Amino acid sequence: MRATVGVLIIGVIGCSGTIGGTSGAPDSGMATVAFTAPSPGTSFTRDSLAPDFALAADVPVAVVTTGPVARVAISDGARALGDVDASGALHAFVDHAGAATLTATAYDSAGASVATATLDVTITDPAAADCHAWLDLYKVAYTVGPANPGVVDPVTVQGPIGGVPYRYLGNTSQRATFFMDCQLALSLAKAAPFFHAHDVMEVEDYGVYNYRCINNDGTPPNCTIGMSQHAYAMAIDLAQFTTSDGSTYNVKTDFVINPDGDTCTATPQPGKDAFLHALICELKGAKVWNIVLTPNYNDLHRDHFHVDLTPGSDYIKLQLGIPVDE
């Protein structure tokens, strides 16, 4: 049951048997854990950066324990937020808006769960005046401009973005600066936690800004089909991802085309293909980008993931009767 401080106690008294449902040699006595901060129902704003560069609410948690407790882990649903320190404190970063139930799980020296407590808090989104204010919240370093044809809100971003460096594929140096529309810069900041979750240490790309028509069909602004999202600096072509062990995941060589199945419902091949499918589908599922074109789309995309922010669109594989930026 939940007390006013949100504690649920599980324990066993005695020198034999089980603790928390796990067999082994238990410590004697009963373990308890309880939240002492924050107060139940407290509201926090998602205006801080978590260690993975997600925009999150910084919730200062404090717990007290009794009995044989070796460590206390804090979680938000299935998401682990970290262990409290020796004083029982932790800055728990919650990266979603709405109701959040924090769980404190106490473990004994054998690693068995011996007590839990829960605490409900509310997480709200910040009120940012414009795209630049959102970049400030994500701590993206940028300057405004320069003005270029087609680009509504031009910014020049200093790398890395959300701790993720970018490099034009084939270049030896990572990008020091990166020109794009502010909205695309914001999308790359939102993508950073997904890259960190997959241990991506560097993203290689084929560029952002290119003032052209879709399929180069015409001369901007006089395009037969329409303007490419690259002409608005609202698209980026992602070609390769490098993880901390030096492994590379190249769209051209490692992504296996599944022409008979949707990109995110088809069963990928184990290994690098599965990595690439999981990464791009998680990003699309989180609505980081509106449009995602993979090698499943056509041969022009065999060597990259084209991602963009076409207004009012939601697309990853099938044409759906509307022009899609090539």
**Mean pLDDT value across residues 176-197:** 98
Q: What phi and psi, each to the nearest 5 degrees, are found at residue 224?
A: -70, -50
Q: Confirm if 17 and 28 have CB atoms less than 8 A apart.
A: no
Q: Which residue has the tokens 């801080």?
A: 48
Nearest to 175 by CA among 199, 154, 205: 205
Is the predicted pLDDT of residue 237 greater than 90, yes or no? yes
pLDDT at 288: 97
At 154, phi and psi to the nearest 5?
-70, 135
Give DSSP secondary structure letters for 102-152.
Answer: EEEEEE-TTS-EEEEEEEEEEEE----SSHHHHHHHTT--EEE----TT-S
> For 116-149, how does the pLDDT look when each residue is reduced to its tens digit (9 = 90+)?
999 999 999 999 999 999 999 999 999 999 999 9
- pLDDT band at residue 217, thresholds of 50, 70 and 90? confident
Confidence category of residue 106, pLDDT binned at 50, 70, 90: very high
Nearest residue to 251 via CA among 307, 321, 179, 211: 307
For residue 259 the two structure tokens come to 């022409």
> How far is residue 76 CA from its own chain's centroid?
16
Q: Transcribe 232-298 into DSSP letters.
A: GT-EEEEEEEEETTS-EEEHHHHPPP-TTS-TTTS-PPTTHHHHHHHHHHHHHHTTS-SEEE-TTT-
Q: What is the mean pLDDT of residues 164-178?
A: 97
pLDDT of 272 > 70? The answer is: yes
260 or 71: which carries more pLDDT confidence? 71
**pLDDT higher than threshold 90 for residue 310:** yes
Query: How far from each other are the two terminal CA atoms of the chain, in whole angstroms?
Result: 57
d(CA 180, CA 143): 11
